[in-house]
Structure 1
Amino acid sequence: MSTDTPAAQQRIPEKSYDDDVSTPSGSDSNFEDDPVVLHARRSVEVTGRDREILDEEEEREKLLTGESVKEASKGFFSTRYKDERHGGNLSNEEKRKSRRLRKRRRHVNGSRHDEEGELMYEMEEGGPISYSSSQASESSADLDKLDVARPPMSKKRKLALWHIVTISILALFFLLTFGAYKVSHKSRTRPHLALQSNGTSSFAPTTILVSLDGFRADFLHRGITPTLNQFIAEGVSPKHMLPSFPSVTFPNHYTLVTGLYPESHGIVGNSFWDPDLGQEFYYTDPARSMQPKWWSGGEPVWVTAEKSGVKTAIHMWPGSEAGMEFSATYLDKFNGSESLPRKTERMLGLLDLPGEQESAGLALRPQLIAAYVPVVDADGHTYGPNSTEIWSTISDVDTMLHHLFIGLEERNLTNLVNVIVVSDHGMATTSTDRCVQLDDLIDLDLVEHMDGWPLYGLRPKNPIDLRGLYDRLLVESQATGNFEVYLRDENMPERYHFSKNDRIAPLWVVPKTGWAIVHKEDFDVKKAKANGEIYHPKGLHGYDHEHPLMRAIFVARGPAFPHTPNSRLEVFQNTEVYNILCDSLGIEPKPNNGTLRLPLKPVGLHADKSTSSYDAPVDLPPNHTEPQASNDPSNDDHSITADESVVAEQETKNKEAMSKFWAYVKAKMKAAQAWANKVIEALKGGSKGDHKHAGEETPEQGEPS
């Protein structure tokens, strides 16, 4: 290809030459081989290089003084190509010299300068530059200048660099903070997480959770629970634990193992309508209720544990049969007729399984055992929370726990295994005289679904009827004071945490504690009173979760609770139990509504004089009706409203009966002691008459039988 092409001419680097030196013409071959010419040419090139260095220095000075690259480049090119722009022409010899010099520079520097130079211009100017045909012929020598004297960093690049540095610092700070948290968290739970031996086997952190359904907090003060009272004396507990609203079984048992309010985990009642699914949840129908779709709003502790590699055993816990993604390793389905001794055997049998160190392919011992005990709730419903039968049931449950603790002691596990005993809610006595006939207050034909019990959630067929139903119920509520009425989206008490879920009906009727909302399809109040019928169940729950009769229990003991025996905690809600369970096992809990973490922080002892007194809650008898509530807004909306004289009279009768009972017991003991003394005296003295008289000793007359 000819070297005189226009393209070749455009790429001539003008500054490679000295303007004062003339270039001889002639044949390429003769000119190239002549030593004199070669020497002259080298001199010209050296002079040109000196000129080039001066130009570079001048260009660098311009750049350092703040001139933009674009302006500098324009001046640079205008000087470089002034001969061409004004019609100046280079001779053929000059063209050849230019080509040879350009090749030599490319050989030394490589083609990278062209690429880097173009990239530099694009970055500085915020985009690619459009060059003219003359500008496109920039030489490698000019690009060398850009390598030597690069322009100042642009504002955009400075800002980008600042962002990168800032983000890096923040990321480093986050990593350091997270690392410190992990270290502190590990150190907080480390003492009870190491493997410990009972002499025959190694035990990883292990926790037994026992739920006594319907065990009211004041049942501990009836003198029939020596095991539980001793457990409190050895462990840590609040005076009572608050359930969640509504205070019924399924929502609260799922709250205990998820740490979420019912509005958050979605089990908002024992029965409820889901408008998205178009189906009803009903707790006693496993075909409907034990499906994963109902239970997807929370992650129970056995799922959290199994995901973390911790094996679990769940014994009849409500919701455990729902077929979740991660089921418990050992799952016992509900059996309402199972005896209490069998439950104890099951828990101890699970502890007897080999641990990971001794398994040798056998079944592994679970680290979490959660057992559900329904009998107190069942008998409380059937007979009432103050009946003779419930006293016997409470005593039986206490005996069951006694055998469990004895079993742990026999296995040398008392100080190795955590035991937590809880309940889900309390119980209140009902009465035919404390029933609200819902049919007499509103037109139930306007209602499509009724959720819950003894409180009712109403879903009108037509949303336009919602306000009318509410207004009618509100008038009756203010007139009688036997129930409260709330709109989910307007005035539901914030402390209920019962509004942020579509499964919660838009209108709720919440009876006062001890009252029940009924409709004639289930119970006709007028006919029942006329016929002397008794309302069943005799015991109910589901009321305001802060009412004293709804209080539950929490008691814990074990290596995860290294507290002074008989330690007392501040009262807390059952949303805290999930975190406590996870920490006792050394697993990380999922986000939840709880805030407590191990180690717990006691505020004193139960034996402290300032807090040792106990005020028994008032549970109205079956034949008593509360007076109408005052409309005074200063009254607490969950206070006890029983007439003080009636309450005082009832308490006086209870105290008198108890006093007579203990007087009778003491009299019998004294009589037995006197009889024994006389028998001993008769044996010593050989007095037959005295012996006969001692054997005929009878109780004093007038004592209660």
Structure 2
Amino acid sequence: MARDGDGLLSEKHYDDDAAVVPSDSGSDSEGEAEERNHVREHDRDILEETEEHEKSLHKPSRLERARGVFRSQESRHDGASSDRHAAKGKKRKPRRRGTSTPDKMEGAFDDTGSESSVELSEIQDSRWGVKASKSHRTRLTLIYLSIITLFLLLLSGAYRASSTKKHKLEPEQHRLTKFYNGTHTFRPTTILISLDGFRADFLNRKITPALNAFIESGVSPKYMLPSFPSVTFPNHFTLVTGLYPESHGVVSNQFWDPEFEEEFWYTHTKVSMQPKWWTAEPLWVTAEHQGVRSAIHMWPGSEAHIPDVEPTYIDKYNGSEALQNKVDSILRWLDMPGDDDVAAAHENLRPQFIAAYVPNVDADGHLYGPNSTEIRATIADVDSMLTILVEGLLARNLTEIVNMVIVSDHGMATTATERLVQLDDIIDMSLVDHIDGWPLRGLRLKNPDRDVPILYDQLSKEAAKGDRFEVYTLETMPERYHFTQNDRIAPLWIVPKTGWAVVEKSDFDVSEALATGKEYHPKGLHGYDHEHPLMRAIFVARGPAFPHAPNSRVPVFQNIEVYNIMCDSLGIVPHPNNGTLRLPLQTEGLHSENDKPGSEPVVDPVDDVKHEDEPTTDDQGTTLPDTPKNPADDPPHEGSSPSEAPEDQAAGPAGEGDGDDDGEHRNSSSWWNFIHEQLEKAKEWAKEFVDSIKNNKQGEGDPPV
């Protein structure tokens, strides 16, 4: 048989492991030796190829799988391995003529055996690659999630640490504080009461036993400064936002908005109670956002649906509402079940923040003037309301559980026909487009670029003629007013001196009034320089959030600080604001007899004003009773504790009259019993005093200004 035929049928071409069979002839010629060498070379190629196939069938280790992930894209493409093997086959040495296996058959062997093995290995390799890729991705995902979680924990820890350093009272921790009154559990609860128009020196008229007793048991400055302009709506919104009027946008009781091309007028509730005017976050929104329910009784702006949450409970404004009804509303809210009551339902739960607005002093101050007999009756009436409220807290054992903060928004000055500036006489009214504010006047001109400089010079010369008013542009406005950075602030302002007013002839003709003796109304006004003594307001606080010695004094501050104080008392985080004070307040000792709130003499700009120590008479000239004469008329001296009052007044039912001599601690039960006795004695006098002139009072229900 020919050599080619023997080579074709030779076993070595079908079995890679078969040994090379020597020729039958047994000869060892040069050609045969060369052929055997070539066959060995071919076998090595096949052996290498076989090893490569075995590697592809071998299960990869973890390290091999990890490496395979980075080459997964290459291994996923079908035919990539075949291309590598085809390239390798091309590199083999070509067989010489006369070899036992023809080139054509060698190619056929590779196509059927080697290629199918490579395809199988690629399928298995691809499967291992997919499994490895999924496993690696899962591992990487877990690692990334762990890193993100750790970062968030570190960030949260850093924030808490920084908050703790800044403020001694951490809101998150304080919110966990709970108080038990013997029947119910109370979370931090604060009542904020605003006495509109209550001037600081009203406290020195000997007609406010409840307020004075409250001051002696709490913490207060000599007075609190309102914000400019010293009118109701801007200051009430400042009290609950901590922002200057220029920052919260309610810049007056009436003003023009150039963007809306519309006028805000506080008594036109269909306009003024639209949310577009109120662009800051008030306290009730801050509280509701943090899970603290709020109950608002007639607070200016509370009906404006300020985004994006309403108070849980709200009473709409009613200027003629009886004072007793205000107390009933507050006590009704306190009597609701709390979150920690076992039987508490999900609806009608107790609020923690309660705000109440009392317009009476302001309304009668405008109507009768701040030095009238009528305003004295009103002040005493409001003080009696506080007496009833304190008694309600006593009955519920809440005097040491609920915080009480009493404030006012501004003071009041007496007006007169002789202290009026006729605006028509000092400027050309045809140049004016809008007039904002009252009694100060903000002028918006039809051609401001041309006329503001001209009118400013003209009005400045007029102001220099007498001590009647000041004139400012936005560039010359005193910095302490914080009254420039808002488009709602007019470019030119006439600010009258305290007790003066700027009027237009269409409203009041000054020359005619002086000639006929006509009186100007209102008889009391505010809105002047917020630092003037007649504009001073009050602040007094007491409760577990105010752990100060009785009768503690703090430095005078402006009402932008009230918002932060309220937030801290409730344990909530305040929204960014202009205030800086935080709880606990830093005291500067105790109030002395000659240095207590309202003790500083204030001169009202009226010639015939009655001195406060003169007796008050009714319409028939009968002298009305002053505060009741009893040992409690003289408040505790500086450095004394409440228990140092006369024994029959200070001792409680269990003889709890002993207190610390240094006045740093108080016996709460004896102190509140002491106050209770004084209030009981004052009530009869207050009732007699109020009833004696009640028939003279008019104007209940007038809107606040």
Query: TM-score interval w.r.t. the shorter chain?
Result: 0.5 to 0.7
Aligned equivalents of 1:616 and 1:532: distance in 2?
31
- In the TM superposition, what whole-angstrom CA distance separates every residue of 1:526-574 from its partner, at most 9, and x where no partner exists? 1111111122111110111111111100011111111100011111111
Aligned equivalents of 1:426 and 1:339: distance in 2?
23
SS at match of 2:490: coil
Q: 1:152 corresponds to which residue?
A: none
One of 175, 191, 197 as aligned partner of 2:156: 175
Q: CA 1:119–1:473 in 2, change beyond 3 Å: closer, same or farther?
A: farther
Any residues of structure 2 matched to 1:439-458 within 5 Å, and which?
Answer: 439-458=424-443
Q: 2:216 corresponds to which residue?
A: 233
Letter in 2 for 1:248: V
Aligned equivalents of 2:57 and 2:281: distance in 1?
69
Aligned equivalents of 2:442 and 2:369: distance in 1?
25
For the 8 Å contact 2:168–2:584, the answer to whether it is kept is no
Aligned equivalents of 1:118 and 1:192: distance in 2?
55
Aligned equivalents of 2:496 and 2:87: distance in 1?
92
SS at match of 1:273: strand
Any residues of structure 2 matched to 1:347-386 within 5 Å, and which?
Answer: 347-356=330-339, 357=341, 358-360=343-345, 363-386=348-371
Q: 1:251 corresponds to which residue?
A: 234
State the TM-score, normalized to the length of structure 2.
0.67
Q: 2:256 corresponds to which residue?
A: 273
Letter in 2 for 1:468: I
SS at match of 1:420: strand
Q: CA 1:290–1:208 in 2, change beyond 3 Å: closer, same or farther?
A: same
Q: 1:470 corresponds to which residue?
A: 456
Q: 2:202 corresponds to which residue?
A: 219
1:35 positional shift: 6.5
SS at match of 2:611: helix
One of 526, 532, 535 as aligned partner of 1:541: 526
SS at match of 1:258: coil
- In the TM superposition, what whole-angstrom CA distance separates every residue of 1:97-143 from its partner, at most 9, and x where no partner exists? 765565555556979757737999xxxxxxxxxxxx99x9899xxxx
1:323 positional shift: 2.2
Q: 1:654 corresponds to which residue?
A: 611
Q: 1:682 corresponds to which residue?
A: none
Aligned equivalents of 1:309 and 1:327: distance in 2?
13
Structure 1's unaligned 5+ residue stretches are 1-24, 39-90, 121-132, 140-165, 624-649, 670-705
| Stretch of structure 1 that moved more, 277-286 or 464-473 | 464-473
Aligned equivalents of 1:328 and 1:466: distance in 2?
43
User: Does residue 487 of structure 2 align to residue 502 of structure 1?
Assistant: yes
1:365 positional shift: 2.2
Aligned equivalents of 1:177 and 1:604: distance in 2?
36
Letter in 1 for 2:274: Q
Q: 1:560 corresponds to which residue?
A: 545
Q: 1:310 corresponds to which residue?
A: 292
Q: 2:508 corresponds to which residue?
A: 523
Any residues of structure 2 matched to 1:275-354 within 5 Å, and which?
Answer: 275-295=258-278, 297-324=279-306, 325-354=308-337
For the 8 Å contact 2:337–2:349, the answer to whether it is kept is yes
For the 8 Å contact 2:338–2:349, the answer to whether it is kept is yes
SS at match of 1:590: coil
Q: 2:127 corresponds to which residue?
A: none
Letter in 2 for 1:116: F
SS at match of 1:313: strand
Aligned equivalents of 2:176 and 2:196: distance in 1?
30
Q: CA 1:361–1:529 in 2, change beyond 3 Å: closer, same or farther?
A: same
1:174 positional shift: 3.9
- In the TM superposition, what whole-angstrom CA distance separates every residue of 1:492-518 from its partner, at most 9, and x where no partner exists? 222111111111112211111111111
SS at match of 1:459: strand
Q: 1:485 corresponds to which residue?
A: 471
Q: How many residues align?
A: 524
For the 8 Å contact 2:169–2:568, the answer to whether it is kept is no
User: Does residue 559 of structure 2 align to residue 584 of structure 1?
Assistant: no
- In the TM superposition, what whole-angstrom CA distance separates every residue of 1:52-107 from its partner, at most 9, and x where no partner exists? xxxxxxxxxxxxxxxxxxxxxxxxxxxxxxxxxxxxxxx98887676556555555
Aligned equivalents of 1:31 and 1:363: distance in 2?
95
Q: Using CA pairs under 8 Å that are at least 6 residues apart, name the structure with larger relative contact order, 1 or 2.
A: 2
Letter in 1 for 2:188: P
1:182 positional shift: 5.9
Report sequence identity in percent: 57
Q: 1:203 corresponds to which residue?
A: 186
1:301 positional shift: 1.4
For the 8 Å contact 1:255–1:574, the answer to whether it is kept is yes
1:263 positional shift: 1.2
Q: 2:384 corresponds to which residue?
A: 399
SS at match of 2:240: helix
Q: 1:116 corresponds to which residue?
A: 70
- In the TM superposition, what whole-angstrom CA distance separates every residue of 1:610-635 from its partner, at most 9, and x where no partner exists? 87994312211067xxxxxxxxxxxx
Aligned equivalents of 1:350 and 1:619: distance in 2?
40
Q: 1:417 corresponds to which residue?
A: 402
Q: CA 1:285–1:298 in 2, change beyond 3 Å: closer, same or farther?
A: same
| Stretch of structure 1 that moved more, 189-198 or 525-534 | 189-198
Any residues of structure 2 matched to 1:67-78 within 5 Å, and which?
Answer: none
1:665 positional shift: 9.6
Structure 2's unaligned 5+ residue stretches are 1-6, 21-40, 75-82, 90-146, 630-705
| Stretch of structure 1 that moved more, 204-213 or 175-184 | 175-184
For the 8 Å contact 1:568–1:604, the answer to whether it is kept is yes
